[in-house]
Amino acid sequence: MVEMTREEFEGLVSEALDRIPPELTRLMDNVAVFVEDEPPADSPELLGLYEGTPLTERGEWYAGVLPDRISVYMGPTLRLCRREGGDREMVVEEVEITVVHEIAHHFGIDDERLHDLGYG
């Protein structure tokens, strides 16, 4: 069974962010990443969520707005890995996939393309 503290999970998210190539992270603009315990009640199995305006949709009007928000949800991630008999390594992989998936939304890549790329 996979057990992990909030601090350990936050560390995995941080490590996943560190693995994003610098040429991409330099392009990220006005976005913050958070670890949350649980997703919204209407989406209990959601592993991550991007909220904001993708870079591809920003125009001259985009100024003085709050940062986009990427949330990575600890509860559903750990439950998924437990259900599938996974270990810590599976959690590491799921966190990385989730982080990449949500950052891709920031760059304007949709779910269909992400599924094609293996980040669904």
| Predicted confidence (pLDDT) at residue 20 exceeds the cutoff of 70 | yes
Long-range contacts of 96-100 (CB under 8 A, 24+ apart): 96/16, 96/19, 98/16, 98/47, 98/48, 98/72, 99/13, 99/16, 99/17, 99/20, 99/33, 99/48, 99/70, 99/72, 100/16, 100/20
Average pLDDT over residues 43-66: 91
- The pLDDT tens digits of the residues spanning 81-99 come to 999 999 999 999 999 999 9
User: What 3-state class would DSSP assign to 108?
Assistant: coil
Average pLDDT over residues 35-50: 97
pLDDT for the residue 50: 96
